Amino acid sequence: MAAATRVFIPSDTTARSLGADAVATAVAAEAKRRGANVRVVRNGSRGLYWLEPLVEVLVGDVRHAYGPVTAKDVAALLDAGFLTGGMHALALGPTESIDYLKKQTRLTFARVGVVDPLSLDDYRAHGGYRGLANALNLTGEQIVATVTDSGLRGRGGAAFPTGIKWKTVLATAAEQKYVVCNADEGDSGTFADRMIMESDPFVLVEGMTIAGVAVGATKGFVYVRAEYPQAIKTMRAAIESASAAGFLGTSILGSGRAFELEVREAAGAYICGEETSLLESLEGKRGMVRYRPPLPAIKGLFGKPTIINNVLSLASVPVILDKGADFYKSFGVGRSRGTITVQLAGNVKRGGLIELAFGLRLSEILYDFGGGSATGRPIRAVQAGGPLGAYVHPSQFDTPFDYEQFAAVGAMVGHGGLVVFDDTVDMGEQARFAMEFCAIESCGKCTPCRIGSVRGVEVIDRIRGGENETANLALLRDLCDTMVTGSLCALGGMAPFPVISVLNHFPEDLKARAGKPKAA
Amino acid sequence: MSREESPHDAEIRLLAQARAAEAGALLPILHAIQDRLGFVPDTAVPIVAEVLNLSRAEVHGVVSFYHFFRTKLPGKQTLYVCRAEACQSMGSRALESYARKKLGVDFHETTADGRFSLEPVYCLGNCACSPAVMVDETVYGCVTPQRLDEILA
């Protein structure tokens, strides 16, 4: 009997949010009814989200894509012979030839959407655990030097050189050290961390293990937001099978070095994405931001030296240890080395995950990849880098996507999220929301953030209500300045950035709304 | 000071004791209680405090800090509507008002028949297929008012 035809149907949250489970059930049932020998594999998502649920069929060595597929399409697809790559209105050709994917440089996301997320064999067959194997033959200093030389900078938003953090932890003597993964991906417009955890969880396990080996930490925590139930389940399952196979435990692969991992579920506080607040939360406390110094690298979790990195930073480590610092560094521009995972979201025709070497222009991402707005209307603004990032005006769309050049126009790359708005957006309302969100999520420790954000909402309401417009606009700028310079952490310190960008680039939207003061 | 036993006391104590030895055990314990009961009742605070040797104020402070923990029994199902920017760009403000009107409740409230609680959420990581809602742990993307009707039917 011939081998079963493999049909790949994503189990990723977004694919499932559009009906992938029903498609998987329909494919299995319809194939059975027809006596077709089919094996359904639940892979992760390729990140071509406008095509989800994206179904792939392996024909020979080539995966052919069909999408977006609904359960109702399944019978017609089988009629059209999709099990042998047959033509159908939903046929997209070989997956790897789809332009959106072909133009990408997938290093961190090399396996995402390709493999069965929880198959350790699949992971290893696609290059997994080669980085750890190399790391186990190196000294801590050599591993840290490799990460430093690669030019990797923190992908969570702050872009601090990863190797420098590691070096500090390595150099700090302590009987216990920790590795903490910040998987509290709370920024709107971002989903790359979730994709890694749901679609290639072992790469994060491996990255954290390498970090532990490098600095002599024996325990790691993955702090995952409660809004990501599937990521939590997938990470827990991956850790369990990695432990069972000897990739985690008291002697990793017989090396005599110990590393254990545990998933901790967050509880819906945005501020816990800030690293010191996250550490407080892991310790079982309110997520209140800590004063720095001391740095977490010196006094972190439970007062011990702690590596705390974002999911994408840690997930980039295995490829660096596998292929070397020079390989990774050969991508990118200036001081932005390697790849950035752009997450294109909001009002955009082709939203999804785009991993690229740094340096592509924002306009190329928005129009060549994204195809413009979903509604077909002109794009009026793009919020880059999450809710604390500026709204980028169309006159700035030619800016190359890298840390320094974005900073030069008052914007930030952050975690790589881009949220697109068409020309129906009311930017005054967006400015108000930035302050409102800060008020809801402020930890309350410092006054500029706790009080300033509440006052910010009130002042914006007054401006929009036509009350002392000139004086209140000046007051709003002054308030933003106080928050930026006086806040303890990035929440209060950056929440004014979207507001300032609206003041600078979309002032007409802050004007009084003709006779209609905005209700709260 | 003695106080009346509430029906969940023994269960809460067991859940707390089961994880008390872990480092930073408070959040995992509160999650375990909420997973089991659907909420963290006020009566849990002194029990957890005693098991972990913390003050009641410390435990109460943690329960009240985190949006995810709730102190009242929620409806049979919880509808979370995303209010963050990516969803806003695709009409979530209108969807939000529709959900409120349809259920006849505001955020943080439960329908009179006890079927649904309505909660805001700030990003479900489904931003390329906005707007998004979540019912308990199931996420739905590209949600229109019509689709919300089907989801809640």
Same structural domain, B43 and B103: no
| Whether A419 and B127 lie within 8 Å, measured CB to CB | yes
Tally of structural domains, chain B: 2
| Whether B127 and A52 lie within 8 Å, measured CB to CB | no
Residue B142 at interface with chain A, using a CB cutoff of 8 Å:
yes
Reply yes or no on domain A332-422 having CATH 2.60.40.10: no
pLDDT under 70: residue ranges of chain A: 1, 513-520
| Whether A383 and B85 lie within 8 Å, measured CB to CB | yes
Name the helix (H) or strand (E) containing A439.
helix A427-441
Q: Can you tell me the distance from the alpha carbon of A86 to that of A66, in angstroms, rounded to the nearest whole number?
A: 10
Phi-psi domain of A386 (left: phi exceeds 0; alpha: psi -120 through 50; beta: other)? left
Q: Which tokens in the block code for residue B73?
A: 């029994």
Reply yes or no on domain A427-510 having CATH 3.30.1490.20: no
Amino acid at A104: Q
Q: What is the pLDDT of residue A103?
A: 97
Q: Can you tell me the distance from the alpha carbon of B13 to that of B41, in angstroms, rounded to the nearest whole number?
A: 13
Alpha helices in A136-228 (DSSP H): 140-150, 162-171, 192-199, 201-215
Same structural domain, B84 and B146: yes
Nearest alpha-carbon partner for A62 in A111, A13, A96: A96
Q: How high is the mean pLDDT of chain A? A: 96
ipTM value for the complex: 0.96
Q: What is the pLDDT of residue A105?
A: 96
> Measured between CB atoms, which of A17, A270, A420 is closest to B140?
A17
Among B65, B135, B148, the strongest candidate for a mutation testing the A interface, having the largest count of A CBs within 10 A, is: B65
Kindly list the residues from chain A whose CB atom is less than 8 angstroms away from the CB atom of residue B94: none
Task: Tell me if residue A91 falls in helix, strand or coil.
Answer: strand
Q: Can you tell me the distance from the alpha carbon of A490 to that of A289, in angstroms, rounded to the nearest whole number?
A: 10
Same structural domain, B57 and B82: no
Same structural domain, B92 and B131: yes
Residue B87 at interface with chain A, using a CB cutoff of 8 Å:
yes
Same structural domain, B48 and B103: no
What's the number of CA atoms in the CB half-sphere (13 Å) around residue B64?
9
Q: How large is the greatest C-alpha to C-alpha distance in chain A, in angstroms?
A: 81
Provide CATH 3.40.30.10 ranges for chain A: 5-102
Residue B52 domain flag: yes
Residue B22 domain flag: yes
Q: How far is A252 from chain B (nearest CA, A)?
A: 23
Nearest alpha-carbon partner for A406 in A362, A465, A437, A439: A362
Q: Can you tell me the distance from the alpha carbon of A201 to that of A234, in angstroms, rounded to the nearest whole number?
A: 7
Kindly list the residues from chain B whose CB atom is less than 8 angstroms away from the CB atom of residue A353: 128
Q: What angle do CA B72, B73, B77 make, to 5 degrees?
A: 130
Fold of A120-329: Rossmann fold (3.40.50)
Residue B57 domain flag: yes
Q: Which tokens in the block code for residue B112?
A: 């009179």
Q: What is the pLDDT of residue B6?
A: 81
Q: Can you tell me the distance from the alpha carbon of B39 to that of A508, in angstroms, rounded to the nearest whole number?
A: 46
Provide CATH 3.40.50.11540 ranges for chain A: 120-329
Residue B2 domain flag: no
Residue B63 at interface with chain A, using a CB cutoff of 8 Å:
no
**Correct CATH for A5-102 of 3.30.160.270, 3.90.1420.10, 3.30.413.10, 3.40.30.10:** 3.40.30.10
Residue B124 at interface with chain A, using a CB cutoff of 8 Å:
yes
Q: Can you tell me the distance from the alpha carbon of A211 to that of A135, in angstroms, rounded to the nearest whole number?
A: 9
Asked if the peptide bond before residue A378 counts as cis, ω within 30 degrees of 0, the response is no
Provide CATH 3.10.20.600 ranges for chain A: 332-422
Q: Can you tell me the distance from the alpha carbon of B128 to that of A342, in angstroms, rounded to the nearest whole number?
A: 12
| Whether A264 and B27 lie within 8 Å, measured CB to CB | yes
Q: What is the pLDDT of residue B54?
A: 98
**Enclosing domain of residue B101:** 77-152
Same structural domain, B15 and B53: yes
Q: What is the pLDDT of residue A300?
A: 98
> Measured between CB atoms, which of A14, A186, A188 is closest to B141?
A14
| Full-model pTM | 0.96
Q: What is the pLDDT of residue A158?
A: 85
Q: What is the pLDDT of residue A157?
A: 83
Q: What is the pLDDT of residue A156?
A: 87
Q: Can you tell me the distance from the alpha carbon of A506 to that of A6, in angstroms, rounded to the nearest whole number?
A: 52
> Measured between CB atoms, which of A283, A419, A433 is closest to B24?
A283
Q: Can you tell me the distance from the alpha carbon of A41 to that of A11, in angstroms, rounded to the nearest whole number?
A: 9
Task: Tell me if residue A341 falls in helix, strand or coil.
Answer: strand
The number of residues making up chain B comes to 153
Give Cα separations from A25 to A32, A70, A354 (angstroms): 11, 11, 29
For the segment A145-181, what is each residue's pLDDT rounded down to a tens digit?
A: 999 999 999 998 888 999 999 999 999 999 999 999 9
Domain finish residue from B25, B41, B65: B65
| Whether A186 and B62 lie within 8 Å, measured CB to CB | no
Provide CATH 1.20.1440.230 ranges for chain A: 427-510
What's the number of CA atoms in the CB half-sphere (13 Å) around residue B61?
15
Name the helix (H) or strand (E) containing A322.
helix A311-323
Residue B72 domain flag: no
CB pairs under 8 A between A and B: 155
> Measured between CB atoms, which of A185, A267, A430 is closest to B125?
A185
> Domain with B102 in it: what CATH number?
3.40.30.10
pLDDT under 70: residue ranges of chain B: 1-4
Give Cα separations from A222 to A25, A56, A116, B97 (angstroms): 32, 31, 21, 36
Q: What is the pLDDT of residue A1?
A: 57
Percent of chain A clearing pLDDT 70 (strictly above): 98
Q: What is the pLDDT of residue A3?
A: 86
Same structural domain, B48 and B88: no
Q: Can you tell me the distance from the alpha carbon of A351 to that of A279, in angstroms, rounded to the nearest whole number?
A: 33
Same structural domain, B90 and B33: no
